[in-house]
Amino acid sequence: MPAARRIGFFTTIVLVWALFAGAWARADLVWEPASGWRVEGGVFASFASSPEGRNAKALMDEARRAEDAGRSRQALKAYNRVVKKYGSSVFAPEALYRSARLYEQRRQYSKAFRNLQRIIAEHPAYPRFTEVLGAEYRIAGLLVDGARPRYFGVIPGFRQREKGIEFLETVVTNAPYSEYAPIALMSAADAYTHTGDRDAAIDALDRMINNYPESFLTPDAYLKLARAQAAITQGPPYDQASTQLALTYFQDYLILYPGEPDAAVATEGFDAARTMLAESKMTMGDFYYRHRSNYTAAKVFYNEAITIHPDSPVAERARRHLAAIERIESGDNAAAAGRAGPRAKRFWVF
């Protein structure tokens, strides 16, 4: 096939697919208790009048009437048959959505989420896409909060907080630019913290502030991230890399969100982080001062402590130590000056 004809062929395929997808998007299902489901608009409007369409509609009508009558098991059975036999029809995503709602009501959360996920993967043009995301987020939140699933809709199961976190991350992956993505990330960070996975919580908060800087939740993410980093350091004698990060995040919060209600909390955290860093410098200075008599190294660390937090009690203590070192060094110099010059020779007579 010549190149020009091949390009024209593929262009035609793309255009046909685009028109087909647009027609799908315009198709809508309407439920009327008297007459059942009706397809409005799109290329699938004629599907309901075909033999296959009539069979699918009969199953959908049976499922919806059983659902409205409170017979959830019968409704689920009919909806699942629609999905299995007519998975490419206009009825399939609606059957998945409504069966997911029933599974959620029966506390069969994993099955509910599975059906919602199938809509996103197999029927992305489904008009209730935002509602599907909302249902996924709701189910994930229930599990994270400790809701117990029920096997077969009857037998209570164990809590599945880890599964809830997995579902939250799936929501972020499904629609990273939706309104649910930042909310799901924040919920995942809280859930990671609750389960004791500090590193995963920090990672979720870091993704939050980097990927969604304009979200109304971002200020809270900055504050939580700063607190999480500050909590890592065990004390002045230990590594202060996390304290330095906490200081940076507290400072960023104060610069970016000075009018936020939690600005005072951020200021308190910023001062606490500075105090921790200054105390760390004091610890190093005291080591060289008291245990090594290395006054040059001690002065370097004491001066760094003053620079980090000049108006703190730590800085005042550093100044006192510097003054003491200065007196010691002055005394040593005077003694050295007194000893200057050649020593007189002595002769002993026995």
- pLDDT for 288-323, tens place per residue? 999 999 999 999 999 999 999 999 999 999 999 999
* Close Cβ partners of 96 (under 8 Å, ≥ 6 residues apart): 79, 83, 115, 116, 118, 119, 123
* Contact of 120 with 147, CB cutoff 8 Å: no
Query: Which pLDDT score, from 0 to 100, does residue 13 have?
Result: 35
* Contact of 160 with 146, CB cutoff 8 Å: no
Residue 342 DSSP one-character state: P
Tell the burial category of 205 from Cβ atoms under 10 Å away from its Cβ (0-12, 13-18, 19+): buried
- Residue ranges for the chain with pLDDT beneath 50: 1-25, 335-341, 343-344, 348, 350
Backbone phi, then psi, for 76, in 5-degree steps? -60, -40
**Whole-number Å distance between alpha carbons of 242 and 233:** 6
Query: Which pLDDT score, from 0 to 100, does residue 45 have?
Result: 54
* Domains located in the chain, CATH noted: 22-127 (1.25.40), 238-330 (1.25.40.10)
pTM of the model as a whole: 0.80
Report the phi/psi class of residue 329: left, alpha or beta, with left for phi > 0 and alpha for psi in -120 to 50: alpha
Please give the mean pLDDT across all residues of the chain: 87
